[in-house]
């Protein structure tokens, strides 16, 4: 996912095959897999089965619902530490805001990056925020001393309400990219504003 590409063989944005229109992140997701780069991604977002249970707990699934999926007794006590469902340690980040008359809205995502590249690697972040959205990443630099080391970072997303018809929505996308000068590790960021009926 983090090493995928979103341009065609001419270096232009991919087209939606069915309509011929320019594709968006909702069409291509993280993009097309780049097998060579996927073999040496630099950073990964590692997950365990416990992370998925936390995700389900924070998505308001009951212990019984989760047990049907996992075939194990679910313990949601860890989930509160994870914060909210958006904190699943996954490369993509999606913020959905119900406007409800609020002029400003914000959320955050916590991610843990694991260095699977060179020891003593330093990754610098570049943010291409969705239009009309303020995105901050802290820290802006991840300095790994060894392979296998894990470091956390926080992504804060802030936006303002937009005039939408009742039941309407507006979706915008951006990118968060970490680079050590040799590798780039990209995460799509999608922000949706929804106006309730």
State the Cα–Cα distance between residues 91 and 169, nearest whole angstrom: 24
Give pLDDT tens digits along the chain (197 positions).
888 888 888 988 888 888 888 888 888 888 888 888 889 999 999 998 888 999 999 999 998 999 998 998 888 887 877 788 889 999 999 999 999 888 999 999 999 999 999 999 999 999 999 999 999 999 999 999 999 999 999 999 999 999 999 999 999 999 999 999 999 999 999 999 999 98
**Does the predicted TM-score (pTM) go above 0.85?**
yes
Q: How far is CA 58 from CA 1, 156, 174, 193, in A?
A: 24, 19, 25, 21
Beta strands in 116-183 (DSSP E): 121-128, 133-138, 141-144, 150-160, 169-179
């Amino acid at each position: 996912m983090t090493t995928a590409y979103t341009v065609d063989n001419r270096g232009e944005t991919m087209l939606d095959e069915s309509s011929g229109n320019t594709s968006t992140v909702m069409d291509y997701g993280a993009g097309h897999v780049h097998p060579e780069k996927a073999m040496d991604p630099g950073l990964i977002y590692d997950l365990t089965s416990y992370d998925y249970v936390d995700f389900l707990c924070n998505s308001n699934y009951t212990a019984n619902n989760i047990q049907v999926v996992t075939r194990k007794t679910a313990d949601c006590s860890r989930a509160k530490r994870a914060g909210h469902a958006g904190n699943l340690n996954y490369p993509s980040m999606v913020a959905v805001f119900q406007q409800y008359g609020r002029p400003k809205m914000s959320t955050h995502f916590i991610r843990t990056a694991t260095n699977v590249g060179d020891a003593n690697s330093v990754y610098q972040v570049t943010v291409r925020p969705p239009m009309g959205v303020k995105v901050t990443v802290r820290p802006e630099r991840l300095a790994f001393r060894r392979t296998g080391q894990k470091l956390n970072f926080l992504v804060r997303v802030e936006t303002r309400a937009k005039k939408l018809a009742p039941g309407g929505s507006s979706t915008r996308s951006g990118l968060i990219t970490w680079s050590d000068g040799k590798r780039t590790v990209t995460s799509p960021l999608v922000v949706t504003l929804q106006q309730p009926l």
